[in-house]
Amino acid sequence: MERVPVKALCLALAALSLNAAPLPAALTAHLKEAALVHVDFTQTRTLAALSRPLKASGSLVLARDLGVIWALRKPVALTYVMGPKGLLVVDSEGRRSHRAAREAPVVAQMGKVFGSLIQGDWKALDEYFTVTGSGTPEQWQVVLAPKAQTASFLKRVQLNGGRFIQRISILEAAGDRMDLMFEHQRVDAPLTEAEARLLAQD
Amino acid sequence: MRLRAWLWILVLAVLAGLGGQRLARGGALQTDLLAMLPETEQNAVAERGVRVLSQATGDRAIFLVGGPGATLAPGRHFAQSLTASGAFASVLGTLPPVDPTLIFRFYAEHRFRLPHPSPGATVAAVRAAVETRLTAPMGSALGPEADPLGHVARFMDGLPLNSLRLEIQEGMLTLRSGDALYVLVTANLKGSAYDPAVQRVSLAAVRAAETALRAAEPRAELLRARPEVLRTGALFYAADARESAEWETGIIGWGSLAAIVALFLAVFRSARHLLLGLACVGAGLIAATAVTLLVFGKIYLLTLVCGSSMLGVAVDYPLLYFANQLGAGPAWNPRAALARLMPALLLGVVTTLLGYACLGVAPFPGLRQMAVFSMAGLAASFLTVLLVLPDALGRPLPERPRLMAALDRAGLAWLALGRRPAFRVALVLATLLAAAALLRLRVDDDVKSLIQPSGTLRTQEARIRELTGFSNSGRFFLVEGADEGAVLAREEALRARLEPLLRLGALEAVQAVSAFVPSPARQEEALRASRAEAPLLAQALTQVGFRPGAVARQGEELAAQRPLTVAAFLKTPFAGPFRMFWLGATVHGCGAMVYPVGACPSAQLREAAAGLPGVALVDKAQSVSGLLGHYRGLANGALALACVLVWLMLLWRYGLRSGTAILLPSLLGILAALAGLALVGSPLTLFNTIALVLVLGFGVDYAVFLAEGGRQSAPALLGVLLASFATLLSYGLLAFSHTPALRGFGLTLGLGVLAATLLAPFVPAPKAQP
């Protein structure tokens, strides 16, 4: 039984393309391959059921081999840590809940995909998407068109960027969409002690 | 020949025809060793569960294709070759595309009935819960409207869908361990794993797929480790057991036959006697097989293997008769000789049949069949000697004076040795030592000692278990109740008790239908909570920005919630692997299985479930082992009973002193066999006890023949020696079998018969009672 929250997966994949080399390679070859990236994000969800879009913001830490820290600040303070050990969620009062990779294989799979993407291995996307690109290295656009199964609930994923990735839009089949804007990339800024502890998940 | 001889031959021909007809219809040979075992559970529902589980795992062959540094290609090729062969009903390598949102949508329809934590007592708290859900990086395949509070996602996280460590890659089920990659391929057989035709076709397809795999390997792959094909499944075990048993039957059966033929020719120098001897054995085998088939409809492989050893026993009667003829010289009169031999032969047959009958006392299908097989064969052989041989042995045999003289000398020398004080002291010492060795005797009733598959198969199964976490321990909790709701509630109580074992890692997973379908009581409780939370949820959704229509729809859906039923769950495609755990309507109401995955000892499981109503742990292997132990006790009793009955019979004929003396070699033979087992370190099992019953039968036979024939009579000595030798050749050769049960049987019987034969000549000649 496949239990892939594909939206989450492609969100993570897309987020990781910040410093990976998305196809076509020529467009994004200048994206520096970094072991560690800090970046702030703003997320906007536009849903048919909502009279106004829901905005959220926070910051993201991508660390090769270690995993991802998705720290949401607004509207709720919650930190998600996804890595080879599993999924750790820490709420605003420091309460932690952990799901081991063994119990949540999808999370573990996501962790693996992160790893391969950080190392510029785009083949991992082939299974889910057809990847096309356009523009110049200064202003490029990459479109991920979902294959077979994924298409039932995902229409398209679009990435825009220049020197860095700037925007990811995820369009769902039902007409809902999610836009992620990135700013303040800091490449190779060292992990703080707190971040290192979170990534260690212990 | 006289009429009665012809009539008997006619009876045999009819039996052969009936047996042959049954065999020709096919499926008469039962190679599943476990099928020999009796039903262990008093509860018929538990037996049904055992059957369902063994069928589910039995009709499937499981492969892991790959290895260190492997790609997905070998697994894909292997699955394609198996499919192309047409030897399997279906081959699962690549998964059919399943809509992954199906399971989410199924639960979304019942989301207000799913047990869930409280989202909070204030609008602000519920709003935070909705916002958390809407902004989480791991969304689900459901839109926020279908699961605004994440009940469905949370419930699905708790489902035991992924108790196997598999992941999907390019539509194939794969498994990683370090740098090794394996593809899981399952193949459903076209019939029973125990059907030799199915085995032949399936195994040929597997072999061809392996060859194709090696041929298709690109050159680059050769530099790396070869992809391996790990396999498990009843198919391979059954085929292995059949091949090994067929081989052993061949070697042991034909080997002993060849030795017996050589013996005949060397002693009697007559092809006629050889053929007559074989005819007696053949009559026994035909009658035994036919009667077994007529009584049971099927014949177990183990019965046939033991049956091939029947040769040794069945040949005893013609041997004694021929030995008498050899000693009689020109004065040979077949009918007078038979009349003289009759008391000894009859006593021998009756004591042996008595021993065999004791086997059939235990309600153990395998033993009953062996008892019927051996009694029918023995009786037929004996009747052949009685009805056919006198007519066929009209002419006297050429005398063998030198052979007889040599036997006389040997017999006298052995008796002289027996009279020496030193020998007697040694004999007493040996007896005491043997008795002391009994202290070291172990008892083992483990059913696994019945079957010993090849080492490769066992290591491969262990590897697959280690890699996938897949195990077929054959044990489960049977949960019963008056109706579906009661069963689900009882399962929930049981799963709560097993929770600590899961946390400790003693169990890897617990598979149960109630994990997918909460009990009606819990659904109602969740629904009440959902109703109480509804006003807060409506306000929170409005605050987040949901349109009035979307908010109202939540209330409508809450009002329209229908109960989540087992029937609805079982109809979904993702219920596939769990369907077998639901037994449904039973004679007691309703039943289901809860399947613990992991190496947790049964005692610990039983303790965890102690006191829960309607819950019982069913452990087939343990029950069978317990039953084997029980039957071993029964067989020990039967042995003691047989000893007493035979003793009484001997007392009636020979009086206290001589009767006891005739029994003594058998008792010492039993002691020797037990001591031998203890010294070799072989445990005492049910099968060894059975062998001891036979030692009693043989030992008394030999002592009686010598006593009746006069112990200094060379023909009697020759007859006993030949009979004993034939027995050792046939039964004793089983000591070299690979099947532990047969090996112990052969060892016990061989040692016992050897000791009883050597001691039989020392029995003083009795004075027959009038």
Beta strands in B507-629 (DSSP E): 509-511, 582-586, 589-597, 615-619
Q: Which is higher by pLDDT, B97 or B603?
A: B603
Residue B151: which region, alpha, beta or left (left: phi > 0; alpha: psi -120 to 50)? alpha
Element housing B242 (H / E): helix B234-248
In angstroms, the CA B229 to CA B460 distance is: 9
Residue B664: what pLDDT?
92
A100 interfacial to chain B (CB closer than 8 Å): no
In A, which residues are within 8 Å of B157 by CB distance? 99, 103-104
In angstroms, the CA B213 to CA B541 distance is: 58
Closest approach of A119 to chain B, Cα-based (Å): 18
In A, which residues are within 8 Å of B569 by CB distance? none
Closest approach of B682 to chain A, Cα-based (Å): 43
* Single-letter residue type at B426: A
Q: Which is higher by pLDDT, B413 or A83?
A: B413
CB A102 within 8 A of CB B509: no
State the CB neighbour count (10 A cutoff) for residue B674: 23
Q: What are phi and psi of A97, to 5 degrees?
A: -130, 140
Among B95, B134, B157, B574, pick the best mutation site for testing chain A contact (most A Cβ within 10 A).
B134
In a domain, A16, yes or no: no
The predicted model gives B561-588 an average pLDDT of 85
Cis? peptide before B518, omega within 30° of 0:
no
- Give yes or no for residue B566 having a pLDDT over 90: yes
Beta strands in B284-398 (DSSP E): 299-300
Query: How does the average pLDDT of chain B come out, rounded?
Result: 82
The predicted model gives B543-555 an average pLDDT of 89
Residue B39: what pLDDT?
62
Q: Which is higher by pLDDT, B11 or A151?
A: B11
- Give yes or no for residue B254 having a pLDDT over 70: yes
Residue B767: what pLDDT?
62
In angstroms, the CA A29 to CA A112 distance is: 22
Residue B85: what pLDDT?
87
Closest partner CB to A152 (pick from B101, B132, B170):
B101
B77: Cα within 13 Å, side-chain hemisphere = 21
pTM: 0.69
Does A82 contact B170 at a Cβ distance shorter than 8 Å?
A: no
In a domain, A12, yes or no: no
- Give yes or no for residue B699 having a pLDDT over 50: yes
Which residue carries 């053929």 as its tokens?
B275
The predicted model gives B277-285 an average pLDDT of 86
Closest CA to B162 of A81, A107, A88: A107
Per the structure, how many domains does chain A have? 1
List, for residues B284-326, the tens digit of each pLDDT value: 888 988 998 988 888 887 677 666 665 566 778 888 888 888 8
Residue A9: what pLDDT?
46
Residue A161: what pLDDT?
79
Burial classification of residue B664, based on how many CB atoms lie within 10 Å of its CB (0-12 exposed, 13-18 middle, 19 or more buried): middle
Among B95, B104, B138, pick the best mutation site for testing chain A contact (most A Cβ within 10 A).
B138
In a domain, A4, yes or no: no
Closest CA to B466 of B57, B64, B75, B59: B64
Residue B251: what pLDDT?
73
3-state secondary structure of B482: coil
**Given pLDDT bands bounded at 50, 70 and 90, which one contains residue B473?**
low
Does B545 contact A153 at a Cβ distance shorter than 8 Å?
A: no
Closest CA to A98 of A110, A81, A113: A81
A124 interfacial to chain B (CB closer than 8 Å): no
Does A5 contact B131 at a Cβ distance shorter than 8 Å?
A: no
Residue B311: what pLDDT?
55
In a domain, A9, yes or no: no
* Per-residue tokens: B58: 């039995």
CB B197 within 8 A of CB B179: no
Residue A16: what pLDDT?
44
Residue A169: what pLDDT?
85
In angstroms, the CA B246 to CA B502 distance is: 44
In a domain, A1, yes or no: no
In a domain, A62, yes or no: yes
Closest CA to B604 of B508, B503, B490, B506: B506
**Given pLDDT bands bounded at 50, 70 and 90, which one contains residue B162?**
low
| Residues 24-83 of chain A whose Cβ lies under 8 A from any Cβ of chain B | 43, 45, 47, 49-54, 56, 70, 72, 75-76, 78, 80, 82
Q: Could you tell me the residue range of the domain that residue A166 belongs to?
A: 21-200
Residue A37: what pLDDT?
81
In angstroms, the CA B312 to CA B728 distance is: 8
- Give yes or no for residue B646 having a pLDDT over 80: yes
What DSSP string describes B678-721?
HHHTPPB-HHHHHHHHHHHHHHHHHHHHHHHH-TT-HHHHHHHH
Quick one: what percent of chain B has pLDDT higher than 70? 89
Residue B157: what pLDDT?
76
Closest CA to B763 of B708, B721, B726: B708
* Single-letter residue type at A32: K
- Give yes or no for residue A2 having a pLDDT over 70: no
In B, which residues are within 8 Å of A75 by CB distance? 128, 131, 135
- Least reliable range by pLDDT among A28-42, B419-433, B582-596, B625-639: A28-42
In A, which residues are within 8 Å of B99 by CB distance? 149, 152
Q: Which is higher by pLDDT, B466 or B552?
A: B552
**Given pLDDT bands bounded at 50, 70 and 90, which one contains residue B730?**
confident
- A114: domain CATH number is 2.50.20.10
Residue B264: what pLDDT?
82
Provide the Cα torsion A91, A93, A95, A96; round to 10°: 40
In a domain, A66, yes or no: yes
In angstroms, the CA B231 to CA A32 distance is: 46
In a domain, A3, yes or no: no
Which residue carries 């050589």 as its tokens?
B262
The predicted model gives B399-407 an average pLDDT of 84
Does A3 contact B100 at a Cβ distance shorter than 8 Å?
A: yes
Residue A14: what pLDDT?
46
B742: Cα within 13 Å, side-chain hemisphere = 27
The predicted model gives B330-344 an average pLDDT of 85
Provide the Cα torsion A133, A136, A137, A140; round to 10°: -50
The predicted model gives B438-459 an average pLDDT of 72
